[in-house]
Structure 1
Amino acid sequence: MNGRRRHLICDTLGLLLTIHVSAGDVTDRQAATDMLPDLADRFPTITKVWADGGYTGTLITWALAILHLAVTVIKRTDEITGFVVLPRRWCVERSFAWLLRSRRLVRDYERRPDSSEAMIRWSMTMLMIRRLAGPRQA
């Protein structure tokens, strides 16, 4: 995507907890410092967060000291060759794949980050409604 990054925190089922759309030059760690306090406020029972290699560094100690969130980084080892599903990292990738089933999210039609976040929330809401409704009857 040109100039936009979507940062997503989801639960183990892949359902959206919080979203942040930012400029393309914002790193994962910078976005996490904006998202994790919101996560801790909205969901106080969450104590552990799994993340990929982009969230290493002082973010881990900051989240533990300030927010009481244990951030565990799931890293790919050099011994693995080819495609291997890493534990817990696939949850967010699967959520992004579900979101991209919405035509509006395949291309970056939205000009403002808040409207892009709204479209992502709308898409996830539609996904959850379809799951609650169950299969269609003939």
Structure 2
Amino acid sequence: METALVDQGFKSAVVDHGAALGIGVDIVQRNPADRGFVPQPKRWVIEQTYGTLAPHRRPVRDYEHRPASSESRVYWAMSDVMARRHTSSPSWRGA
């Protein structure tokens, strides 16, 4: 990982910690003129991925003890998503 994007709620401690690990930390600032929910660039992609994983439940919770096990759950969930999109079959929720 080279760069981490964080919310504006994070302050200089996160930037300093990232620098100590050799990771650049960019704080995504919100435009003060915006009202309500406005997707932020780059971070929206990550939030969309979390939303895609949410119906699969297990990758959303931190049940796994090993990173490799957690990674395999994400591959499992995304394989299901891609297969359903490719075949145009409905999700388990009937949507």
Common topology (TM > 0.5): yes
- Give the alignment's TM-score, normalised by structure 2: 0.62
The match for 2:76 among 112, 126, 131 is 126
The match for 1:60 among 15, 20, 44 is 15
Q: How many residues were matched structurally?
A: 84
Q: State the structure with bigger RCO (CA 8 A, min sep 6), 1 or 2.
A: 1
Tell me how far 1:68 sits from its aligned partner.
Answer: 1.5
Retained in 1: the 8 A contact 2:53–2:78?
A: no
* Structure 2 alignment gaps of length 5 or more: 89-95
* Structure 1 alignment gaps of length 5 or more: 1-45
Equivalent position amino acid for 1:53 in 2: Q
Between the aligned partners of 1:113 and 1:128, the Cα distance in structure 2 is 18
Alignment partner, residue 22 of structure 1:
none
How do residues 58-137 of structure 1 correspond to structure 2 at under 5 angstroms? 58-64=13-19, 66-102=20-56, 105=57, 113-114=63-64, 121-122=72-73, 124-130=74-80, 131=82, 135-136=86-87
- Give the alignment's TM-score, normalised by structure 1: 0.46
Q: Deviation digits for residues 74-118 of structure 1, max 9, x if unmatched?
A: 12232111332211121221122111122xx28x9x8x8437x85
